[in-house]
C-alpha cells in the first residue's frame, strides 16, 4: 500500500550551489525531463529524495505488519492467497524503494537500523490497529485507494528511479485496490453482522484515510522545493479533495454512514456522530467535510499513536531474529557446494 | 504464530549488534516470451549469482508470465554519462535514415507514375521506419 | 480412465486430503512469515512458496469436493480437527525461528515431490494431470530449500548449530509423513495410488542425507513404526486445534456467509 512522503519532507533551499548548474537543473525539471542518479543535482535535492524514498520504503515494510496479522485468519482460500500476495507485494515495494535509496548512498542495513531505533519515520497510518477482518477490507479499499491517488501523482515526479518504481508499484496497487473493493462489497452486501463489522471498521479508517495525505497545505506550497522540484506534484489538500469526492459518495452508496469519531488511546471508537458538514456543493462538485483532528495526527507522528510501539517492536524482533541468517550468508562460508 | 506478532515486547534504545552491511546488488532482466528481448526489471541484493537468480525468479518473475531471467552484478554494468558522453550526433543524420528520403522519393515517383500504381508499389515499404 | 469403485471413494478422498491438508498447514505456517523473514528478497520468495502450497491445497480440495460433494472452503475451514489427515510435522509451529521453518520445508518438499510423482501415475486421470503440474512446481521448492540448507549448514558455526538443532528436533516427527491412510493398500492395488518404483522412504532418506552431507549437517531418520496412529488417521498433535482456531476465527463467525 504504501505511504509516500507527504509527512514532513523538508527540503532546505540550496544556498551554496553553483547558480549556473542550479539554473540548468531547474530548467530540466521545468522541461519535464527525468533526472538520473549520476546527473548533477543540488545536495538538498539528493538528500530530500533519499529521505522521501527511505520514508516510503519504511512505510512499505511497516505497512506489511497490520495486514500480516490477518493472513493466518483470512476466511477463505482465495482471500488467504490474495492477502498473502498483497502483503508480499508491500515487502517487494519496500525492497525496490530501499534499492532506490541505496543508490542514493545509504546502506539498507543502516536504514533498517535507523527505522527500528526511531531515528527515521514511516507513514503514520500504520500506527492504527486492525482489530477485525472488516479493517482488512477497509484498509485495502480506503488506504490503498488513497495510496494509488497519491502514487499516481508521484509517478509524474522528476527523479527517474523513483518515478519508474512508482509506475511499477501502481500496477500492483491496482490488484490491492480491486481486491479491497471486492471485500468491502462482499461485506456490505452480507449479513447484518458483516455490515456492522464493515461500518465499525469504516469508522476507524475514514479519518486515518483523510490524514493519509498529510497535514493541510502550507501557504504557497507550489513554490516550495518539494513541488518546485517535482518531488511531489499535487498538494496535500488537493489530493484529499479528490479522495473525498470519489470515496464519500461511494461509501454512501455502499450503505456506510460517515461519522465524526472520538477514539481512545488504543484507536478504538468511543463516540460517533454523523458528519453534519458532509455535503456535496453542486456548483463546485466538491464535497465539504469535517477536518481530521490534526492534534491527533501530530501526537501519533511523535510516537504516541495506538500501535507505534507494537509495530517497531515487531520489526526489531524480525531484524534481531534474522541476524544469524544474514551473518551466515554475508560473512560465513555460505557458498553452495560445487555443482556435481 | 499470532502470539509472537502480538507479544513482541517494545524495546527502546540502540541495537547491541554492530552494523551488518549489505549484500551485493544484482541487476535483473526478464524475458516475457521466448524470442522477446530481455528487459531491465529491477535489482535484488544477494550473496552470489545463484542466490540473486533465486530471488529474482520470485520477485520479478511472478508479476506476469515470464520465461527467462538474467542477473548481472551491478558493478559489471558500465554506462555512459548523460552530460558528458555524446551518443547521438548533432549534425544532420537524415542521410542515414529512411525518413530522410520519403518525401523526395515520393515527389519524384509522382512525376513518373499514376497514383494507384504508386500506392500498390508502396504497399511493400517498411512503413514503421519512416 | 477408470471410474472409481464406490468402496474406494472414501479412501481416495482421504489420500487426497492427506496431500491437501499437509499443503494447507505448511502454507499456512509459512505464509505467516510474510513481512518478517530475515532478508527482504527471501521474504518475497518464501511467500511465493507459501502461496504455492496453499494454491495446491485449493486445487486438490476442489477435486475432493467434487468427489464427496462439498466445497473447497468447507473442507479447509469447516472441518473439526479429527477430520484432517495432515502429518505431525506440518502442524509443528516454528515461532519465527528460520532454522525450524527451513528444515520443516526441507522434509516436506522432498516428500511431496515423491508423493506427487507417484500420484502423477495414478489411473485416475484428473488427479494424475493435477499431480503432474504440481510436481513441476514442487521442484522449484526443493531447489530453493536445498540451497538454504547448504548455505546455512555451511555458513557460520552459529548457523550450523541452529540448523542441526532444528533438523534433529524435526527428524523425530518427519517420518509421520509416511504413515499410511486407512485402506491405502486397496488404493495401491487398484493403481489409483501406484506403488512407488523404489521404496519411497529409502529414496526420501537418501535424498535428504545427501543434501545434509553437502551442508555439513548430520541426519538420522528412522521409518515410522507401523503401529503408530497419527495425523493420517485423525489423531493430531496438540498444535493443530489452536492452529485451526486461529485459521477459522473469521470463517466461524458466520460459516454460511460469503466473505
Its ipTM equals 0.96
For residue A9, being part of any structural domain is answered with no
Give the closest of C47, C58, C250 to A133, CB-based.
C250
Q: Report pLDDT for A340.
A: 44
Q: Tell if the CB–CB gap between A99 and B2 is shorter than 8 Å.
A: no
> How many domains would you assign to chain A?
1
Cell numbers linked to C28: 499456512
Residues of B with CB under 8 A from a CB of C: 1-2, 4, 23, 44-47, 50-51, 54-55, 57-59, 62
Q: Which run of H or E residues covers position C103?
A: helix C98-119
For residue A12, being part of any structural domain is answered with no
Dihedral-angle region of residue B53 (phi above 0 means left; psi in -120 to 50 means alpha; beta otherwise): alpha
For residue B54, being part of any structural domain is answered with yes
What residues of C are in contact with residue B50 (Cβ under 8 Å)?
147
Sort strands A287-288 and B24-31 into parallel, antiparallel or unpaired.
Answer: unpaired
Q: Which run of H or E residues covers position C173?
A: none
Q: Tell if the CB–CB gap between B22 and A108 is shorter than 8 Å.
A: yes
DSSP C196: P
Cell numbers linked to A313: 517492536
What residues of A are in contact with residue C50 (Cβ under 8 Å)?
84
Q: Tell if the CB–CB gap between A325 and C43 is shorter than 8 Å.
A: no
Asked if pLDDT for residue A338 goes beyond 60, the answer is: no
Give the chain C residue whose CA is nearest to the CA of A320.
C38
Asked if pLDDT for residue A6 goes beyond 60, the answer is: no
Give the closest of B4, B50, B62 to C147, CB-based.
B50
Q: Domain range spanning residue A116?
A: 19-330
Q: Domain range spanning residue B48?
A: 23-76
pLDDT digits (tens, 9 = 90+) for A141-154: 999 999 999 999 99
Give burial (CB, 10 Å; 0-12/13-18/19+) of B77.
Answer: exposed
Exposure class string for C89-102: b at 16+ Cβ within 10 A, else e: bbbbbbebebbbbb
Give the chain B residue whose CA is nearest to the CA of C36.
B5
CB of C246 less than 8 A from some CB of B: yes
Give burial (CB, 10 Å; 0-12/13-18/19+) of C222.
Answer: exposed
For residue A274, being part of any structural domain is answered with yes
Nearest Cα neighbor of B42 from B82, B76, B22, B69 is B69
Nearest Cα neighbor of A40 from A12, A14, A9 is A14
For residue B110, being part of any structural domain is answered with no
For residue B126, being part of any structural domain is answered with no
In sequence order, the β-bridge partners of residue A260 are A273
pLDDT by residue for chain C (259 residues), tens only, comes to: 457 888 899 999 999 999 999 999 999 999 999 999 999 999 999 999 999 999 999 999 999 999 999 999 999 999 999 999 999 999 999 999 999 999 999 999 999 999 999 999 999 999 999 999 999 999 999 999 999 999 999 999 999 999 999 999 999 999 999 999 999 999 999 999 999 989 999 999 999 999 999 999 999 999 988 777 899 999 999 999 999 999 999 999 998 899 9
Q: Which run of H or E residues covers position B63?
A: none
Mean pLDDT of A86-105: 97
Q: Report pLDDT for C4.
A: 83
Q: Tell if the CB–CB gap between C158 and A90 is shorter than 8 Å.
A: no
DSSP C259: -
Q: Give me the residues of C, 95-124, that contact A with CB < 8 A.
A: 96-98
Dmax over CA atoms of chain C, in Å, equals 56
Residue B59 vs residue A16, higher pLDDT:
B59
- Pick among C41, C47, C149, C244 to test the B interface (most B CBs inside 10 A): C41
pLDDT digits (tens, 9 = 90+) for A215-259: 999 999 888 888 999 999 999 999 999 999 999 999 999 999 999
Cα–Cα distance measured from residue B44 to residue B51, given in angstroms and rounded to the nearest whole number: 9
Q: Report pLDDT for A334.
A: 58
- How far away is chain C from the Cα of A242, in angstroms, using its nearest Cα? 29
- Cβ C88 vs Cβ C173: under 8 Å: yes
SS3 string of chain A? CCCCCCCCCCCCCCCCCCHHHHHHHHHHHHCCCCECCCCCCCHHHHHHHHHHHHHHHHHHHHHHHHHHCCHHHCCCHHHHHHHHHHHHHHHHHHHHHHHHHHHCCCCHHHHHHHHHCCCCCCCHHHHCCCCCHHHHHHHHHHHHHHHHHHHHHHCCCCEHHHHHHHHHHHHHHHHHHHHHHHHHHHHHCCCHHHHHHHHHHHHHHHHHHHHCCCCCCCCCHHHCHHHHCCCCCCCHHHHHHHHHHHHHHHHHHCCCCCEEEEECCCCCEEEEEECCCCEECCCCCCEECCCCCHHHHHHHHHHHCCCHHHHHHHHHHHHHHCHHHHHHHHCCCCCCCCCC
Give the chain C residue whose CA is nearest to the CA of A89.
C44
Subunits that touch chain A (at least 3 Cβ pairs < 8 angstroms)? B, C
For residue B100, being part of any structural domain is answered with no
Instruction: For each of the domains in chain C, give its residue range(s) and CATH number, in order of start.
Output: 6-253 (1.20.1260.10)
> How many domains would you assign to chain B?
1
- How far away is chain A from the Cα of C254, in angstroms, using its nearest Cα? 8
pLDDT digits (tens, 9 = 90+) for B64-97: 899 999 999 999 999 998 888 899 888 888 888 8
The average confidence (pLDDT) of chain B is: 90
For residue A83, being part of any structural domain is answered with yes
Give the closest of A38, A109, A323 to B22, CB-based.
A109
Nearest Cα neighbor of C81 from C246, C232, C234 is C234
- Pick among B51, B58, B62 to test the C interface (most C CBs inside 10 A): B58
Residue B48 vs residue A225, higher pLDDT:
B48
Q: Report pLDDT for C226.
A: 78
pLDDT digits (tens, 9 = 90+) for A25-62: 999 999 999 999 888 999 999 999 999 999 999 999 99
For residue A238, give the CATH number of its domain. Answer: 1.20.1260.10
For residue A7, being part of any structural domain is answered with no
Give the closest of A73, A102, A172 to B22, CB-based.
A102
If pLDDT is split at 50, 70 and 90, which confidence band does B130 have?
A: low
pLDDT digits (tens, 9 = 90+) for A107-136: 999 999 999 999 999 999 999 999 999 999
- Pick among B2, B6, B10, B23 to test the A interface (most A CBs inside 10 A): B10
Give the chain B residue whose CA is nearest to the CA of C46.
B58
pLDDT digits (tens, 9 = 90+) for B11-44: 778 888 889 999 999 999 999 999 999 999 999 9
- Cβ C89 vs Cβ C176: under 8 Å: yes
Cα–Cα distance measured from residue C113 to residue C137, given in angstroms and rounded to the nearest whole number: 9
Give the closest of B9, B14, B47 to A313, CB-based.
B9
Dihedral-angle region of residue B129 (phi above 0 means left; psi in -120 to 50 means alpha; beta otherwise): alpha
Q: Report pLDDT for B97.
A: 87
Give the closest of C45, C94, C246 to B58, CB-based.
C45
Cell numbers linked to B15: 541495537
Nearest Cα neighbor of C35 from A297, A77, A126, A163 is A126
Residues making up chain C, counted from first to last: 259
Q: Report pLDDT for A11.
A: 63
pLDDT digits (tens, 9 = 90+) for A251-305: 999 999 999 999 999 999 999 999 999 999 999 999 999 999 999 999 999 989 9
What residues of A are in contact with residue B14 (Cβ under 8 Å)?
117
What residues of C are in contact with residue A331 (Cβ under 8 Å)?
156
Q: Tell if the CB–CB gap between A61 and C250 is shorter than 8 Å.
A: no
If pLDDT is split at 50, 70 and 90, which confidence band does A337 have?
A: low
Task: Please enumerate in sequence order all residues whose Cβ is within 8 A of that of A339, keeping only pairs 6 or more positions apart, or say none.
Answer: none
CB of C93 less than 8 A from some CB of B: yes
CB of C229 less than 8 A from some CB of A: no
Q: Tell if the CB–CB gap between A107 and B42 is shorter than 8 Å.
A: no
Cα–Cα distance measured from residue A72 to residue A136, given in angstroms and rounded to the nearest whole number: 13
Cα–Cα distance measured from residue B66 to residue C174, given in angstroms and rounded to the nearest whole number: 35
CB of B85 less than 8 A from some CB of A: no
Of all residues in chain A, the percent with pLDDT exceeding 90 is 87
For residue B58, give the CATH number of its domain. Answer: 3.10.20.520
Cell numbers linked to C161: 548449530
Q: Report pLDDT for B99.
A: 87
Give burial (CB, 10 Å; 0-12/13-18/19+) of A60.
Answer: buried
- Pick among A1, A63, A67, A71 to test the C interface (most C CBs inside 10 A): A71
CB atoms within 10 A of CB C4: 18
Cell numbers linked to C228: 503408530
- Cβ C147 vs Cβ A320: under 8 Å: no
CA distances from C41 to A100, A330, C35 (A): 15, 14, 10
- Pick among C155, C166, C256 to test the A interface (most A CBs inside 10 A): C155
What residues of B are in contact with residue A115 (Cβ under 8 Å)?
none
For residue B32, being part of any structural domain is answered with yes
What residues of B are in contact with residue A329 (Cβ under 8 Å)?
23, 47, 51
Cα–Cα distance measured from residue A301 to residue A97, given in angstroms and rounded to the nearest whole number: 21
- Pick among C45, C55, C246 to test the B interface (most B CBs inside 10 A): C45
Amino acid at each position: 500500500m504504501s505511504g509516500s512522503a507527504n509527512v514532513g519532507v523538508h527540503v532546505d533551499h540550496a544556498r551554496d550551489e553553483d547558480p549556473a548548474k542550479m539554473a540548468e537543473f531547474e530548467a530540466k525539471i521545468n522541461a519535464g525531463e527525468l533526472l538520473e542518479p549520476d546527473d548533477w543535482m543540488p545536495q538538498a535535492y539528493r538528500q530530500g529524495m533519499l529521505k522521501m524514498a527511505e520514508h516510503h520504503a519504511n512505510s512499505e515494510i511497516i505497512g506489511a505488519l497490520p495486514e500480516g496479522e490477518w493472513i493466518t485468519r483470512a476466511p477463505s482460500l482465495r482471500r488467504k492467497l490474495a492477502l498473502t500476495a498483497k502483503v508480499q507485494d508491500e515487502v517487494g515495494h519496500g525492497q525496490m524503494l530501499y534499492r532506490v535509496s541505496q543508490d542514493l548512498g545509504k546502506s539498507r542495513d543502516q536504514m533498517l537500523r535507523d527505522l527500528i531505533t526511531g531515528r527515521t519515520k514511516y507513514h503514520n497510518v500504520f500506527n492504527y490497529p486492525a482489530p477485525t477482518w472488516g479493517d482488512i477490507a477497509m484498509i485495502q479499499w480506503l488506504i490503498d485507494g488513497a495510496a494509488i491517488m497519491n502514487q499516481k501523482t508521484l509517478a509524474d515526479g522528476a527523479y527517474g528511479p523513483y518515478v519508474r518504481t512508482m509506475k511499477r508499484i501502481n500496477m500492483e496497487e491496482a490488484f490491492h485496490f480491486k481486491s479491497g473493493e471486492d471485500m468491502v462489497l462482499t461485506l456490505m452486501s452480507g449479513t447484518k453482522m458483516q455490515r456492522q463489522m464493515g461500518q465499525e471498521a469504516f469508522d476507524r479508517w475514514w479519518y486515518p484515510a483523510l490524514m493519509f495525505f498529510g497535514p493541510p497545505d502550507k501557504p504557497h506550497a507550489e513554490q516550495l522545493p518539494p513541488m518546485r522540484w517535482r518531488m511531489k506534484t499535487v498538494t496535500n489538500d488537493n489530493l484529499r479533495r479528490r479522495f473525498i469526492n470519489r470515496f464519500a459518495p461511494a461509501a454512501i452508496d455502499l450503505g456506510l454512514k460517515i461519522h465524526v469519531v472520538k477514539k481512545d488511546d488504543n484507536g478504538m471508537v468511543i463516540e460517533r456522530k454523523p458528519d453534519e458538514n458532509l455535503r456535496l456543493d453542486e456548483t463546485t462538485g466538491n464535497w465539504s467535510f469535517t477536518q481530521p483532528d490534526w492534534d491527533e495526527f501530530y501526537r501519533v507522528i511523535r510516537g504516541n499513536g495506538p500501535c507505534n510501539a507494537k509495530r517497531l517492536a515487531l520489526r526489531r524482533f524480525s531484524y534481531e531474529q534474522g541476524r544469524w541468517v544474514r551473518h551466515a550468508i554475508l560473512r560465513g562460508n555460505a557458498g553452495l557446494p560445487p555443482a556435481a | 504464530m499470532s502470539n509472537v506478532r502480538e507479544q513482541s515486547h517494545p524495546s527502546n534504545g540502540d541495537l547491541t549488534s554492530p552494523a551488518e552491511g549489505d549484500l551485493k546488488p544484482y541487476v535483473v532482466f526478464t524475458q516475457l516470451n521466448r524470442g522477446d528481448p530481455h528487459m531491465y526489471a529491477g535489482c535484488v541484493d544477494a550473496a552470489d549469482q545463484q542466490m540473486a537468480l533465486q530471488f529474482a525468479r520470485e520477485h520479478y518473475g511472478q508479476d506476469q508470465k515470464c520465461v527467462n531471467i538474467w542477473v548481472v552484478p551491478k558493478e559489471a554494468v558500465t554506462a555512459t554519462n548523460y552530460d558528458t558522453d555524446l551518443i547521438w550526433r548533432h549534425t544532420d543524420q537524415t542521410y542515414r535514415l529512411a525518413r530522410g528520403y520519403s518525401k523526395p522519393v515520393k515527389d519524384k515517383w509522382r512525376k513518373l507514375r499514376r497514383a494507384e500504381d504508386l500506392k500498390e508499389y508502396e504497399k511493400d515499404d517498411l512503413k514503421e521506419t519512416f | 480412465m477408470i471410474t472409481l469403485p464406490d468402496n474406494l471413494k472414501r479412501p481416495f478422498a482421504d489420500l487426497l486430503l492427506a496431500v491437501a491438508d499437509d499443503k494447507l498447514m505448511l502454507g499456512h505456517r509459512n505464509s505467516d512469515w510474510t513481512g518478517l523473514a530475515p532478508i527482504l528478497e527471501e521474504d518475497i520468495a518464501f511467500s511465493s512458496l507459501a502461496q504455492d502450497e496453499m494454491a495446491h491445497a485449493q486445487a486438490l480440495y476442489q477435486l475432493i469436493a467434487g468427489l464427496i460433494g462439498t466445497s473447497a472452503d468447507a473442507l479447509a475451514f469447516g472441518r473439526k480437527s479429527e477430520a484432517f489427515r495432515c502429518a505431525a510435522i506440518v502442524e509443528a509451529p516454528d515461532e519465527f525461528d528460520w532454522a525450524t521453518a527451513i528444515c520443516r520445508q526441507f522434509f516436506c518438499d522432498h516428500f511431496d515431490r515423491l508423493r506427487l510423482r507417484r500420484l502423477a501415475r495414478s489411473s485416475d486421470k484428473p488427479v494424475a494431470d493435477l499431480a503432474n503440474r504440481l510436481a513441476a512446481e514442487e521442484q522449484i521448492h526443493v531447489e530453493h530449500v536445498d540451497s538454504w540448507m547448504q548455505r546455512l549448514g555451511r555458513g557460520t558455526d552459529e548457523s550450523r548449530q541452529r540448523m542441526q538443532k532444528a533438523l534433529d528436533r524435526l527428524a523425530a516427527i518427519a517420518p509421520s509423513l509416511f504413515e499410511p491412510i486407512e485402506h491405502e493398500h486397496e488404493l495401491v492395488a487398484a493403481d489409483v495410488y501406484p506403488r512407488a518404483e523404489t521404496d519411497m522412504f529409502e529414496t526420501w532418506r537418501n535424498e535428504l542425507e545427501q543434501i545434509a552431507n553437502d551442508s555439513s549437517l548430520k541426519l538420522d531418520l528412522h521409518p515410522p513404526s507401523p503401529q503408530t496412529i497419527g495425523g493420517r488417521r485423525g489423531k493430531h498433535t496438540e498444535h493443530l486445534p489452536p492452529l485451526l482456531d486461529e485459521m477459522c476465527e473469521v470463517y466461524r463467525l458466520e460459516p454460511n456467509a460469503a466473505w
